[in-house]
């Protein structure tokens, strides 16, 4: 049976993520923080599925909602509205600062970013889009054109008017102060000097993640977001924040931008909103929505305003509130980062621990002084962790080294976090000497 499964994989599945597309396990079910394989193995899931299952797998409240809603109202003509849709829009608006109160409910992060960029272009009349050189915003046309961390080569021209600016990486700074720290202000000035030299004066938007996840879990320095907003607004553009992974309590705040007190012109949400089901949102102000509507804004898709996933979104908000998962993410995140730093005292290959809440980056290096990347080690540690019962995700980009994106479910226990740390400790201890 297992042989035929992998034979069917080889014969029939398109490989969609480069070398090593598929984890070599057949997953039969998942519950809480664990997935269970056909061979009876239990794997601790330190990525919450695709960084999405913030309530763990098969949360009882989500299961009950899916069963109830699928039996009554699952999908409608896209111009029809239902109570779960309007309720979710209202509740999202209530969770956000003014003037973010107008909501479009979609399916994926790429789709929400596509809709946001389309709206920004229509409202501003511009077409130029700025994003980070380590960005990831999705695989559809406008979102992919604003994505620079990988996947650009071989697909023909990107959308015209897209510009990359340097990512403010405090661990690998390109502009430094006299004491060797990242000089993000000078870097940001340089970024927009370059943009201005290339721009035709038609900026529509800048789209960024408050914490770049695929880019290596890079947290923007305090103050950066406000300075970026001011530069974008000065050029007539809108600030779009992509909180696919950081929204809804993951960072210890309901939204990552709250730390900086910067309200975006357009906010996109996805992964965490559906807690593993395909649900996304674009949220903006009445002023921007009105202008877009007046100019004929069109984003009429098959699954816009679908009642089934919107009912799940309401349940996700219920659980986040009732279980105070923003506080839990903050507390567990502190425990996780402390544990990883303790591992750093024992393993010289751990170069940096960073992140907020339960979105944490662990960067492996060959040498702490030079910070030479350790790509092969990251791959080997990932493999050994899987053998020991821990699913990890390592970002391997040029000059980034092996950066683990650690994003356990917000419902995790301290014991589960400790189990993951123990397995990681063993995997590094057994693997690192092979790359000495």
Annotated catalytic residue, options 45, 111, 183, 209: 209
Burial readout 226-265 (b: 16 or more C-beta within 10 A, e: otherwise) = ebbbebbeebebbbbbbbbbbbbbbbbbbbbbbbbebbbb
Annotated catalytic residue, options 242, 289, 306, 352: 242
Q: Answer yes or no: 6 catalytic.
A: no
Annotated catalytic residue, options 187, 265, 405, 416: 405
* Residue in the block written with tokens 């397995």: 423
**432-436 long-range contacts, Cβ below 8 Å, gap at least 24?**
432/347, 432/348, 432/349, 432/377, 432/381, 434/380, 435/349, 435/366, 435/374, 435/376, 435/377, 435/380
Annotated catalytic residue, options 271, 354, 366, 384: 271
Whole-angstrom Cα distance, residue 413 to residue 328?
A: 9
DSSP H or E stretch at residue 48? helix 48-51
Annotated catalytic residue, options 69, 245, 253, 328: 245
Annotated catalytic residue, options 102, 136, 265, 337: 136
Name every residue whose Cβ is closer than 8 Å to that of residue 257 and which is 6 or more positions away in sequence: 210, 225, 241, 243, 263, 264, 267
What are the C-alpha distances in Å from 42 to residues 11, 39, 215, 336, 387? Answer: 28, 9, 29, 21, 10
Whole-angstrom Cα distance, residue 68 to residue 351?
A: 48
Whole-angstrom Cα distance, residue 369 to residue 371?
A: 6
Name every residue whose Cβ is closer than 8 Å to that of residue 380 and which is 6 or more positions away in sequence: 431, 434, 435
Q: Answer yes or no: 136 catalytic.
A: yes
What are the C-alpha distances in Å from 196 to residues 165, 192, 339, 363, 371? Answer: 12, 6, 44, 34, 33
What are the C-alpha distances in Å from 129 to residues 103, 161, 200, 223? Answer: 22, 6, 12, 22
Q: Answer yes or no: 242 catalytic.
A: yes
Q: Answer yes or no: 405 catalytic.
A: yes
| Residues 182, 169 contacting (CB under 8 angstroms) | yes
Q: Answer yes or no: 366 catalytic.
A: no
Name every residue whose Cβ is closer than 8 Å to that of residue 120 and which is 6 or more positions away in sequence: 126, 129, 204, 205, 237, 238, 240, 265, 266
Q: Answer yes or no: 219 catalytic.
A: no
List the structure tokens of 339: 């544990």
Return the active site residues. Answer: 136, 209, 242, 245, 271, 405
């Amino acid at each position: 049976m297992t042989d035929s499964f992998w034979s069917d994989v080889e014969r029939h599945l398109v490989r969609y993520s480069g070398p090593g597309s598929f984890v070599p396990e057949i997953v039969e079910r998942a519950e809480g923080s664990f997935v269970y394989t056909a061979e009876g193995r239990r794997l601790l899931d330190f990525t919450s599925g695709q960084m999405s299952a913030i309530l763990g797998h098969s949360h009882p409240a989500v299961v009950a909602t899916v069963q109830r809603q699928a039996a009554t109202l699952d999908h409608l003509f896209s111009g029809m509205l239902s109570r779960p849709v309007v309720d979710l829009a209202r509740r999202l608006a209530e969770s956000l600062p003014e003037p973010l109160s107008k909501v479009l409910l979609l399916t994926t992060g790429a789709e929400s970013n596509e809709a946001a960029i389309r709206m920004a272009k229509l409202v501003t009349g511009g077409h130029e889009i700025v994003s980070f050189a380590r960005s990831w915003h999705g695989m559809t046309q406008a979102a992919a054109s604003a994505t620079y961390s990988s996947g650009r080569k071989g697909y023909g021209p990107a959308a015209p008017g897209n510009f990359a600016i340097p990512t403010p990486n405090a661990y690998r700074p390109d502009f430094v102060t006299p004491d060797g720290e990242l000089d993000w202000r000078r870097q940001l000035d340089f970024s927009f000097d370059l943009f201005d030299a290339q721009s035709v004066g038609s900026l529509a938007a800048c789209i960024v993640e408050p914490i770049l996840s695929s880019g290596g879990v890079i947290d923007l320095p305090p103050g950066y977001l406000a300075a970026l907003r001011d530069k974008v607004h000065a050029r007539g553009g809108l600030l779009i924040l992509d909180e696919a992974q950081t929204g809804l309590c993951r960072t210890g705040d309901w939204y990552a931008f709250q730390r900086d007190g910067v309200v975006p012109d357009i906010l996109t949400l996805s992964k965490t909103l559906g807690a593993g089901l395909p649900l996304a949102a674009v949220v903006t102000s009445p002023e921007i929505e009105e202008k877009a509507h007046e100019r004929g804004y069109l984003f009429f898709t098959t699954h816009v305003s679908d009642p089934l996933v919107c009912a799940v979104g309401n349940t996700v908000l219920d659980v986040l509130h009732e279980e105070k998962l923003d506080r839990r993410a903050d507390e567990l995140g502190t425990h996780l980062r402390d544990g990883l730093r303790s591992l750093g005292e024992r393993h010289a290959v751990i170069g940096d621990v960073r992140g907020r809440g339960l979105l944490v980056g662990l960067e492996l290096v060959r040498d702490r002084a030079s910070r030479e990347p350790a790509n092969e080690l990251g791959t080997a540690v990932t493999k050994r962790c899987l053998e020991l019962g821990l699913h990890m995700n390592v970002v391997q980009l040029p000059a980034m080294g092996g950066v683990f994106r650690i994003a356990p479910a917000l419902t995790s226990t301290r014991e589960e976090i400790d189990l993951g740390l123990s397995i990681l400790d063993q995997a590094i201890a057994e693997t690192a000497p092979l790359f000495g």
